[in-house]
Structure 1
């Protein structure tokens, strides 16, 4: 599988296709079969790296908003 930094770049790039005000999970930025092929440990790491990247953006275009009942971080595009 691709390395996690490459997956992070793909996820950040995919957010450009979202509409303003749209809420999403990191896994929704990938096609289902691609997400399922990523090992669980890499998916967890990707989620952490994505959150860190969003926090570095200082809420300019994407903001972490809440967690789902299954403890997945939700984001919103601004």
Structure 2
């Protein structure tokens, strides 16, 4: 799967999250799915997801600090419709 397909899947999953819920991009995938994505694709997906949030979803999704493992943390501020 290429990063743009993964981005589409991740964006579809955020509609299932609740208001004030914090998440990482990897939380939007089942554990075994995330582990099967090559590292370079995961990194690219992270950049694409951050850019998408900043350009289209910023009032609905807040960008928080990074986790100790250097992954961006996000928070749902209001329901997101894709």
Please report the TM-score for the alignment, with normalisation by the length of structure 1. 0.94
Using a 3 Å threshold, how does the CA distance of structure 1 residues 39 and 76 change in structure 2: closer, same or farther?
same
Q: Which runs of 5+ in 1 are unaligned?
A: none
After TM superposition, the runs of 4+ consecutive aligned structure 1 residues lying more than 6 A away are none
3-state SS of the aligned residue for 1:60? coil
Gaps of 5+ in 2: 78-82
Determine the structure 2 residue equivalent to 1:33.
Answer: 32
- Give the aligned length: 77
Q: Which residue matches 1:62?
A: 61
- Structure-2-length-normalised TM-score: 0.89
Over the aligned positions, Cα root-mean-square deviation in angstroms equals: 0.9
Shift in Å, 1:58: 5.2
Residue 80 of structure 2 corresponds to none
